[in-house]
Amino acid sequence: MRNASAELAPNLDNGQNLRTRTKKTALAGLMLGAIGVVFGDIGTSPLYALHAVFGQYGLNLDVTQTNVYGIISLIIWAVTLTVSIKYIGFIMRADNKGEGGIMALVAQIKNERSPVRFKGFYIILGLIGIALFYGDSTITPAISVLSAVEGLKVLNGNFDMLIVPATLVLLSFLFWVQRYGTAAIGKVFGPVMLVWFMVIGLAGAVRTLQHPGILHALSPLSALHFAAGQPLVAFLSLGVVILAVTGAEALYADMGHFGRRPIARGWFMLVFPTLMLCYMGQGATVLADSSTLHSPFMALFPQPLQLAVIILATAATLIASQSVISGAFSLTRQAIQLDFLPKMHVIHTSIKERGQIYLPAVNLTLFVGVVLLVVIFGSSARLAGVYGIAVSGTLAIDTLLFLVVARTLWRKPRWYIALAAAVFVTTDALFVLANLTKIPGGGWLPLVLSAGALIVLHTWYKGQAIVTAERRAKEGSLQGFIDKIRKSDPPITRVPGAAVYIGHHSALAPLALHAAVEKLHELHERVVILSVRITTAAHVPEDKRAVFNDLSYDDGISQLKLSFGYHDTPNIPHELERLQGTQPELDFNLDTLSYFISLSKVVPGNRHNLAGWRKVLYSMMSRNALSTSDYYKLPIERTIEMRSLIEL
């Protein structure tokens, strides 16, 4: 007789191996998707970064060994410190239930249980960082795609007139495909970017082997030697070296789409080494022939291959724009859930990954802004002169908020914070100061774009605080109102059926409930007073979302509290269906259930410390926000909206 355990063991091993292979396959798929979506921006910086340092911005550097080694070394160590060490090594560990981006840091600080002092200051700082990211999201697609299409001039100067029209066509295509989601886009873009990184890495390696002396750029001593000989030039060059690290914040913001592990592996196994080889290869090419300085990237490739490389570079720059667009979607959704922006229509593009979303309003706004920049500036060289301020500001704010989280929430020792600040804050400060010199030459543009975004964010944040306070004053205590209903003489008329009254706070009586009792003098036989709370956690598990309260009386009136994370999608009918059978009071016919919503119509008044134009702006945003019924996925035919006026 055979041993049963011996027969079972191979099956167990096969099952374990199958799970292991499945996990590895899933990880490889996420890595490929991350390569296609996350690294596009930073992966296409070699197209314009070195040319911008030497040929633009008024530096007029001579092509000498010291200068080339120094600049390449500055680029390599800027990327190493900012991306490899700061973001992947430190900041990306400060996720909020798997979600990244500056909003994840703000959410952790904003948490009501967070012991952070001066929360208001850090929240405003976070809003500034978000606004700067929006400015960056507008400029990046314009400069990236323009830089690739401009490669046509290398082949034939007569193509110059086609650059802007071709760029606009390509950008229109990019924003059009956003509706299909990052998962579908990643499947297409992933292989393209894989080829891109392998091609630029191989080309850079060949040139490096031809001029092995460029390997000296790997040493930070080359950067220090360059800076010691020309301190002012080295400082000003940081304003363009920042181009090599664009995409670092998008890499963090897109973490919710793919996860930290696939992003980190994709970076260290492919993206980082190929980028370093490409930059060193360009340096070697320029040293061998200074005439290639006008297009050092294209000079990496022999003439017969340049057309193919231009096509590949164009595809890569479209993908580069994808990383900041996806990041803008993620950031906006988080801002909506945390009440920094009005509700917008959010489309989920994947049934497996909750973070993969599409926001039509954000997509259209970015598209209009990008088109205007392409038409106004017309070349990547002109845009390079205004690029960097938003990027450097965002990087610096990320660092500051991370240090707050590390010290206050993680309880890291003071020496840890001091060491991190000495390295990261100093680096960020140099980048910010160097980029401030761009303001007179057009650097004011991203600041204006960011200021506009900040005004919108802060106006909504401030207006919501005022409206919420006004609502609470009108609503009053829920328990007190329920007691009033029970003591009503004559008793309130109870009509057949069940109804859900949706309120803004679990301790307050919804204004719709006030209207039903005080104006209509009737209630359904079964009433559920429901409140929805968006937490500062990214996700709340389904089994922890609902808290039921029968309000200590058997009269058909009960209370339900639902909690969602800021990356969850509130769907009240789905939650009520899921809760069927858990409480007798919740067992009603969902097909005939009525929903009552309390809506506030905001009218500008003379009250409160808010400028008149900001009151008008808030009122306009409030009117155009996604309706509460759509936001909570309520059935239109059984939803009654009851409005009340709130003076702002």
Residues 377 and 525 in one domain: no
Q: Is 623 in contact with 343 (CB distance < 8 Å)?
A: no
587 DSSP assignment: -
- The three-class DSSP label of residue 595 is strand
Strand arrangement of the beta sheet that strand 594-603 belongs to: 546-549, 557-564, 522-534, 493-503, 594-603, 639-647
Paired with 495 in beta bridges are: 524
Domain boundary among 398, 418, 442: 442
Q: Is residue 5 part of a domain?
A: no
Q: Is residue 204 part of a domain?
A: yes
- Tell me: pLDDT of 349 over 90: no
Domain boundary among 442, 464, 495: 442
Which of 269-278, 282-291, 382-391 is least confident?
A: 382-391
Averaged pLDDT for residues 355-365: 83
- Tell me: pLDDT of 3 over 80: no
pLDDT value at position 209? 95
Residue that is written with structure tokens 């070697």 in the block: 284
The C-alpha atoms of residue 63 and residue 286 are separated, in whole angstroms, by: 7
| pTM of the model as a whole | 0.78
Residues 383 and 479 in one domain: no
Averaged pLDDT for residues 355-360: 77
Which of 102-106, 181-185, 207-211, 437-441 is least confident?
A: 181-185
Averaged pLDDT for residues 413-425: 93
Residues 430 and 481 in one domain: no
Q: Is residue 90 part of a domain?
A: yes
- Tell me: pLDDT of 8 over 50: no
Residues 640 and 514 in one domain: yes
Q: Is residue 17 part of a domain?
A: no
pLDDT value at position 2? 44
User: CATH number of the domain that 109 lies in?
Assistant: 1.20.1740.10
Q: What mean pLDDT, rounded, does the chain reach?
A: 84
pLDDT value at position 73? 96
Averaged pLDDT for residues 101-112: 82
pLDDT value at position 402? 94
Tell me the pLDDT band of 249, cut-offs 50, 70 and 90: confident
Q: Is residue 511 part of a domain?
A: yes
The C-alpha atoms of residue 500 and residue 633 are separated, in whole angstroms, by: 14
Phi, psi at 225, each rounded to 5°: -65, -40
Q: Is residue 363 part of a domain?
A: yes
Residues 434 and 487 in one domain: no
- Tell me: pLDDT of 465 over 80: yes
pLDDT digits (tens, 9 = 90+) for 51-99: 878 765 556 678 889 999 999 999 999 999 999 999 999 999 888 777 7
Q: Higher confidence at residue 196 or residue 316?
A: 196
- Tell me: pLDDT of 641 over 70: yes
pLDDT value at position 1? 41
What is the C-alpha end-to-end distance of the chain, expressed in Å? 85
Please, what's the largest Cα pairwise distance for the chain?
Answer: 97
Residues 381 and 483 in one domain: no
Which of 16-20, 100-104, 199-203, 379-383 is least confident?
A: 16-20
Residues 478 and 432 in one domain: no
Of the segments 253-257, 274-278, 392-396, which one has the largest average pLDDT value? 274-278
Residues 427 and 508 in one domain: no
Tally: H helices and E strands in the chain: 27, 8
Q: Is residue 28 part of a domain?
A: no
The C-alpha atoms of residue 566 and residue 107 are separated, in whole angstroms, by: 9
Averaged pLDDT for residues 552-560: 81
Residues near 312 by Cβ (< 8 Å), separated by ≥ 6?
192, 195, 196, 199
The C-alpha atoms of residue 555 and residue 243 are separated, in whole angstroms, by: 66
Averaged pLDDT for residues 175-179: 84
pLDDT value at position 157? 61
Residues 430 and 534 in one domain: no
Tell me the pLDDT band of 425, cut-offs 50, 70 and 90: very high
DSSP for 284-336 reads HHHHH-GGGGGSTTGGGS-GGGHHHHHHHHHHHHHHHHHHHHHHHHHHHHHHH
The C-alpha atoms of residue 408 and residue 473 are separated, in whole angstroms, by: 34
Instruction: Produce one character per residue of 251-275: b if its CB has 16 or more CB atoms within 10 Å, e if not.
Output: bbbbbbbbbbebbbbbbeebbbebb
The token pair at 575 is 């939650």
- The alpha-helical segments, DSSP class H, found in 437-477 are 444-475
Residues 400 and 478 in one domain: no
pLDDT value at position 16? 54
pLDDT digits (tens, 9 = 90+) for 559-606: 999 998 877 888 999 999 999 988 888 888 888 999 999 877 777 777
Domain boundary among 421, 442, 463: 442
- The three-class DSSP label of residue 379 is coil
Number of separate domains in the chain: 2
pLDDT value at position 20? 53
Residues 346 and 486 in one domain: no
Residue that is written with structure tokens 């989920």 in the block: 348
Averaged pLDDT for residues 243-254: 81
HSE on the CB side for 393, CA within 13 Å?
Answer: 23
pLDDT value at position 284? 95
Residues 423 and 566 in one domain: no
Q: Higher confidence at residue 316 or residue 65?
A: 65
pLDDT digits (tens, 9 = 90+) for 142-162: 887 887 788 777 666 666 778
Q: Is residue 479 part of a domain?
A: yes
Which of 388-392, 403-407, 499-503 is least confident?
A: 388-392
pLDDT value at position 6? 46
Q: Residue type for 577, please?
A: E
Tell me the residue ranges of DSSP E strands in 478-630: 493-503, 522-534, 546-549, 557-564, 594-603
> What's the Cα-to-Cα distance from 500 to each of 339, 348, 556, 640, 642, rounded to whole Å?
23, 26, 12, 10, 13
User: For the chain, how are helix, strand and coil distributed in percent, rounded to 5?
Assistant: 70, 10, 20
Q: Higher confidence at residue 443 or residue 257?
A: 443
Structural domain including 151 reads 38-442
